[in-house]
Amino acid sequence: MNQEKKAQVYDKESRDFLGDVVLCILKYFPTAGRGRIHDLICFLEDRITRDYGDPWLALRYEIWARGPVQVDLLCDLTDGPWLLKDAIRRNPDFPKDPREFLPVRDFDLSDDALLEDAIRKFGGMSDEELDDALRGEDSLWQRECVRLGLWDDFKEGRAVVSRHRLDLALLLDDEGAREDYREQCAMARMGNAK
């Protein structure tokens, strides 16, 4: 697989949809912080890929010691928002107020039944359950860490970041389905670049 790094470009529709995902998470879990929001989105993309075999957000994830990381999203939630500025803003009263982010606009859950169902079903996972799903023994992240020779360095604290991408297509059993998934992701990303 080509590991060449290219900037992921987000058109307005993609930014709005990602913003809707964050708004939906905040609607059900108003005190969700940046780590929880990030990890829930990673988990939901993993789960939807497994269950439906299609890209959901078509985001690129890197393999870091903390687990799968979508760098743009993590940076946006940590230092922004920029990509999500039309959906959320930082709460000026945080940490006095437990809400780190406040919605800028409303989100109607009827717009995306899949998202609503996924948030209701998996959003209430404990931090330990979410951590196990993303980084546990049977996770794609851990299998790829071992395959790429990163596991020991991450486990021993000798490395924090890798430049390897996590190929979510590997969640699918059939090679034809994997290729279809990769092609759909590439097409979605090309559409964003226009």
Q: Which residue has the higher pLDDT, 108 or 122?
A: 122
Assess whether pLDDT exceeds 50 at residue 162: yes
8-12 long-range CB contacts below 8 Å, 24 or more apart? 8/59, 8/60, 8/72, 8/189, 8/192, 9/189, 9/192, 9/193, 10/72, 10/83, 10/192, 11/191, 11/192, 11/193, 11/194
Q: How far apart are the C-alpha atoms of 28 and 58, rounded to whole Å?
A: 23
Instruction: Name the pLDDT band for 80 (thresholds 50, 70, 90).
Output: confident
Assess whether pLDDT exceeds 60 at residue 73: yes
| Model pTM score | 0.87
Average pLDDT over residues 95-100: 84
**Span 6-34, pLDDT tens digits:** 667 888 888 888 998 888 888 888 888 89
Assess whether pLDDT exceeds 80 at residue 183: yes
Are the beta carbons of 67 and 158 closer than 8 angstroms? Answer: no
Assess whether pLDDT exceeds 80 at residue 107: no
Q: Which residue has the higher pLDDT, 113 or 182?
A: 182
pLDDT at residue number 177 = 96
Assess whether pLDDT exceeds 60 at residue 5: no
Per-residue burial over 116-139, b = 16 or more CB atoms within 10 Å of its CB, e = otherwise = bebbeeebebeeeebbebbbeeeb
Q: Which residues contact 32 (CB under 8 A, 6 or more apart)?
A: 25, 26, 40, 100, 101
pLDDT at residue number 56 = 87
In whole numbers, what is the pLDDT of the chain averaged over residues? 87
Assess whether pLDDT exceeds 70 at residue 191: no
Instruction: Name the pLDDT band for 1 (thresholds 50, 70, 90).
Output: very low
Q: How far apart are the C-alpha atoms of 107 and 111, rounded to whole Å?
A: 8
Assess whether pLDDT exceeds 60 at residue 160: yes
Assess whether pLDDT exceeds 70 at residue 193: no
